Amino acid sequence: DINQVIRNVAESFGGTCIDKKIAIELVLTDEKMLVNADMSKIQQVLYNLVDNAIKFSHKDSSVKIETTEKHSKVFVSVKDSGIGIPKEDQKLIFDRFYKSDASRGKDKKGTGLGLAIVKEIIKAHEENINVISTAGVGTEFIFSLAKAKAMDEEDE
Ligand code: ATP
Ligand code: MG
């Protein structure tokens, strides 16, 4: 259930969010959203995306996590209204050790590996991750997962 994994990850950031006064807003259905995936790996993906969203956001802002279903896929969006990523950097951020200029400040810790790991995990699931970002406005990462077939549809 991807919705439950998201709730757990959001909860694990509770303390950091209070320090920076960032609210994590969850837009999830009450029903379970079952996906075919290695849930500990997907938890790691979410952890890295939310970690970035908080790290690159200003105080007193919010991070929104939303799930939507379309055909046989579930789409997970992690959206912030932080510093954004300049267009020319957007294709580089998934590379190992890449950090944009804006994120090399002393308060922006990290080795630049988070998104490389994210990309690797999503690729291993034969799924996709995309970034939509405007410098100075904010960033949204969206990745897909395969919906789990309902029990009665199995063996078809
Ligand atoms: P690590 O994840 O290893 O702690 P990191 O967060 O710097 O370090 P990545 O998660 O791989 O590394 O992200 C790479 C770079 O992409 C970041 O340094 C930053 O420049 C940019 N980036 C990633 N997510 C965001 C975001 N939500 N908003 C703005 N910039 C981002
Ligand atoms: Mg990171």
pTM of the prediction? 0.93
57 lines ligand 1 (CB under 6 A): no
80 lines ligand 1 (CB under 6 A): yes
103 lines ligand 1 (CB under 6 A): yes
Find, among 110, 105, 118, 113, the residue nearest to 76 by Cα: 118
Find out whether 75 and 147 touch, Cβ atoms under 8 Å.
no
- Report the atom number in ligand 1 closest to the C-alpha of 104: 18
Closest residue CA from atom 24 of ligand 1: 52
- Report the atom number in ligand 1 closest to the C-alpha of 113: 3
HSE (CB half, 13 Å, CA atoms) of 60? 0
Q: What is the pLDDT of residue 153?
A: 54
Closest ligand to residue 138's CA: 1
Please give the distance, rounded to the nearest whole angstrom, from the Cα atom of residue 114 to the centre of ligand 1: 7
- pLDDT (tens digit per residue) in 24-57: 999 999 899 999 999 999 999 999 999 999 999 9
Q: What is the pLDDT of residue 106?
A: 53
Q: Which residues contact 18 (CB under 8 A, 6 or more apart)?
A: none
Task: Quickly tell me which residue has 């100075």 as its tokens.
Answer: 136
Please give the distance, rounded to the nearest whole angstrom, from the Cα atom of residue 115 to the centre of ligand 1: 7
Q: Is the ipTM value over 0.95, yes or no?
A: yes
Residues with pLDDT less than 50, the chain:
156
- Report the atom number in ligand 1 closest to the C-alpha of 115: 11
Residue 45 is which amino acid? V
Q: What is the pLDDT of residue 156?
A: 45
DSSP 8-state secondary structure symbol assigned to residue 151 = G
Closest residue CA from atom 15 of ligand 1: 99
